[in-house]
Amino acid sequence: MNSPENIVNLVTTIAKIANIVNTANELYKKLQQSNRELNKELHGSNDSRSVSPVNSNQAEAFFEPDVKQPKEYDEHFFKATPLNGTSFSLLLSRLRKRMMRWPRNRKAVAPEQRLAITLMFLTEGCHFRVISQAYNLGLTTIRKLIYETLDAIWEELHYDYLSPPNVSELKDIAEKFYVKTGMPNCMGAINAKHIHITRPKDSGSVYYNFRKSFSIAVVAICDADYVFRHVDVGAEGSRSDGGILARSAFGRKLLDGTLEVPQDTNLPGTSTSFPYYYVGDNTYPLKPNLMRPFPGRKLSEDKDKYNRALNKAREHIENAFGILATRWRVLQTTIHASPENTEKIVLATILIHNFLMLQNDTDYFTLELVDHTVDNEEIDGRWRENANFLKTFQLGFSNRSSTQSFELREKLKEFISSNTV
């Protein structure tokens, strides 16, 4: 229904899109020479992929052939998307060659336009139809160019920005966690989240979760710098029996203890040998390579101190997801896409997140976004102001753990309780 509230929301969305369109206009101005090179290369392409022709009011109307430097529009562009002009240029330089392989006519959508449109979609979570109207491009064209760009992001970035850490890198991650949280040998923090989707066709209740909505799961591990180090996307929302983690090769190895991790090492300042491990909440099983808190509320001082240290490490994954969903608001919506295409959307946001975090982009990441301490006072991250998105997945593992796992947790508790956190 066209209620006043709906009309206001639509007007607000269109205003945001207009702002992004103006920004894209500025971006294209500085890329005239690149476009000439693009057209020259595309004329000889034999790639079979194509995009539907644009409507009579061509997207090129939004872009003028002048040149501006990134510094002239950084602030304006960042207001519209999580990237400033410099980051946009760096990302475009990585993706350009892949996008230039696609054959286009002279009135086609150039790489910089494609990337700007895709970033707008990821930032706002707009329906394709709204974007189509804003850019005067056909709905089929918008859908195709966005998914092609998401494919290009995965193909170009996943090796450099989402490859499993090697043993040396895991040691470096553990050292950072120890410095920041007092948890030694910690290789990362793990959690699983719901991504809400519309009901997939002919899926029955497979994606219907306990919150009475349709979703897929994202299981992720991050390091002490909020960079995602492992991600598995796509498990059906109805799963709640541990199968979500076990569906991936990584998850199976974590659960059966066959992960390639650094050799056990002595806890700092002691002769106590201890394995490297990940940290999770109480929904995860206690394993030699997976530590979780002690259950209960009225705990002894040493158990409480252990729990506080572990939770301080574990909250890195909560904050990483918080940054992700705050910057890429498509993750806060119910995504109107198939599970396969939703997976592409989620992975693209994570890859760009890692790209920007490892570029030390101080516009994308600010301390106020995450939980932090000021003058010994703990301050909640700004992402928590709207923390209803990305609900935690209840994995529902059995509470049965090995005697070895309980003994290891006791050793870790004793170490932490005797050291200042």
Residue 421's pLDDT is: 45
Comparing C-alpha atoms, which of 317, 336, 320 is closest to residue 328? Answer: 320
pLDDT in tens, 71-99: 444 566 667 788 888 899 999 999 998 88
Task: List the beta bridge partners of residue 290.
Answer: 278, 287
Mean pLDDT score across all residues of the chain: 80
- Residue 173 clears pLDDT 50, i.e. is over it: yes
pLDDT tens track for 318-352: 999 999 999 999 999 999 999 999 999 999 999 99
Domain boundaries, the chain: 4-160, 167-417
pLDDT in tens, 189-216: 999 888 998 888 876 676 767 667 788 8
Q: What is the pLDDT of residues 359-416, one digit of tens each?
A: 999 889 999 999 988 888 888 888 888 766 666 655 555 556 789 999 999 999 999 9
Residue with tokens 């002279």: 106
The pLDDT assigned to 368 comes to 92
pLDDT at 167 over 70: yes
CB neighbours of 251 closer than 8 A, spacing ≥ 6? 219, 232, 244, 245
DSSP 285: P
**For the segment 267-325, what is each residue's pLDDT rounded down to a tens digit?**
999 999 999 999 999 888 899 999 999 999 889 999 999 999 999 999 999 999 999 99
Residues 109 and 98: beta-carbon distance below 8 Å: no
**DSSP H or E run through 273:** strand 273-274
- The whole-number average pLDDT for the span 12-25 is 52
Whole-number pLDDT of residue 203: 67
pLDDT at position 231 over 60:
yes
In whole angstroms, what is the distance from residue 265 CA to residue 251 CA? 23
Q: Is 202 helix (H, G, I), strand (E, B) or coil?
A: coil
The 8-class DSSP code of residue 80 comes to H
Burial grade of 225 (CB within 10 A; 0-12, 13-18, 19 or more)? middle
The answer to whether 222 and 317 have CB atoms below 8 angstroms apart is yes
